[in-house]
Structure 1
Amino acid sequence: MKQLFDFILRFGNLNQQQIDFIASKLLVVEIKKDDYFSEAGKISRQVGFITEGILRVCYYNNKGEEVTKYFIEENNLVVDLESFDNQICSSAYVQAVTDCKMMVFERKDWLELLQTIVGWDTIVHKIIARALMLKVERRSPLVSEDGTTRYLKFMEIYPTLVNRVPLSYIASYLGVTQSSLSRIRKNIR
């Protein structure tokens, strides 16, 4: 619980009564490796905070190939925001790459927090703005670079993931084949 409140309090202030109210709305959930936190074609109904483990956001392109958009590691919120906010079917999957432990808010409880806690919406907007900024910073350099540069940038952005995530997911994220990634890794060593 401390991890979550340390994270939240970086974006605004809450008093003890507000913290206790937020804590009362949390569910502790475990998601096994390869299971989904949310799925394409379904409406996202939860906001999660990862305390242990790694999730990835992925989709299938028009050729039926699985594409990893990005990874979400410990001490970050996870939600399919468009689906959650607008109550529309998601176009992506949020899948556990490792066994995960999370603290989760159901949508009704999240909405109650927004209506009850003064300043909660401001904190949430700051968290979302940070997440979007990080997403752009992490993806932008990968678009125009060669595979080796993309992999080096990946290791810089996600230093703890290289040995925790299957190479197939990293290759998908980088937009290279798994054999190309193996060659790149061999040449870097």
Structure 2
Amino acid sequence: MEILTDYILQFGDLNKQQTDLIASKAKKLDLHKDDYFSEAGKIPKQVGFILEGVFRFCYYNNKGEEITNYFVEEGNFVVDYQKFHTQVIASEYIQAVTDCKILAFSRKDWEDILNTIVGWDKIEAKIYQKCMTQAIERRSPLVSEDATTRYLSFMEEFPKLINRIPLSYVASYLGITQQSLSRVRKNIR
């Protein structure tokens, strides 16, 4: 729970009573590799804080191909925030890439925190802004780079992930085929 508290305190000041309230609302949840935390076609019901493991955001394009859009690892929140916040049907899946341990907050518990802690809306907005900024910074360069540069950027941005996630997900995230990724990896060695 301390890791969650430390993370939240980066974005605003809370007293012990407030952090205890947040802790009381969190439910420990274990997800196995390939389990979904949130599914396309459904309204997201939870916010999660990752204690262990890696999640990916993915969707299917108009050709039915699975596209990995983003990875989130431990020490971060995982949620389709826009859809959770507005209670709209999600268009992406959030899937456990590894076995994961998270602290999960139901919609009701998240709203209880919002309605009880003065200034939580500002903290929440800062957390969301940080998550969005990270996502944009990690994705934007990939659009204009060649495959080798994209892979090197991926390794720099996600140094702990390369040996933890399937290469098919890495290739999908980079927008290249697995064969191309194999060639890139071979040429780098």
**What band does the TM-score fall into relative to the shorter chain?**
over 0.9
Alpha-carbon offset, residue 86 of structure 1: 1.2
Identical counterparts, % of pairs: 64
* Alignment match, 1:69: 69
Structure 2 CA distance for aligned equivalents of residues 133 and 80 of structure 1: 15
Alpha-carbon offset, residue 17 of structure 1: 0.6
Moved over 4 A (4+): none
- Whether 1:54 and 2:82 are equivalent positions in the alignment is no
Instruction: In structure 2, give the amino acid aligned to 1:34.
Output: D
- Whether 1:152 and 2:187 are equivalent positions in the alignment is no
Deviations 1:1-37 (A, max 9, x none): 0111111011111001101111111100000000000
Structure 2 CA distance for aligned equivalents of residues 40 and 179 of structure 1: 28
Structure 1 CA distance for aligned equivalents of residues 23 and 51 of structure 2: 15
Instruction: In structure 1, give the amino acid aligned to 2:132.
Output: L
* Alignment match, 1:81: 81
Instruction: In structure 2, give the amino acid aligned to 1:23.
Output: A
- Unaligned ranges ≥5, structure 1: none
Structure 1 CA distance for aligned equivalents of residues 87 and 11 of structure 2: 26
Query: Secondary structure of 2:58's match?
Result: strand
Instruction: In structure 2, give the amino acid aligned to 1:88.
Output: V
Structure 1 CA distance for aligned equivalents of residues 5 and 182 of structure 2: 40
Structure 2 CA distance for aligned equivalents of residues 156 and 127 of structure 1: 23
Structure 2 CA distance for aligned equivalents of residues 146 and 22 of structure 1: 44
Structure 1 CA distance for aligned equivalents of residues 101 and 132 of structure 2: 23
Instruction: In structure 1, give the amino acid aligned to 2:23.
Output: A
Deviations 1:130-181 (A, max 9, x none): 1111111000100011000000000011010000010000000000000100
Structure 2 CA distance for aligned equivalents of residues 33 and 171 of structure 1: 19
Alpha-carbon offset, residue 78 of structure 1: 0.7
TM-score normalised by the chain length of structure 2: 0.99
Alpha-carbon offset, residue 83 of structure 1: 1.5
TM-score normalised by the chain length of structure 1: 0.99
Query: Secondary structure of 1:8's match?
Result: helix
Deviations 1:76-100 (A, max 9, x none): 0011112211111100000000000
Structure 1 CA distance for aligned equivalents of residues 42 and 180 of structure 2: 34
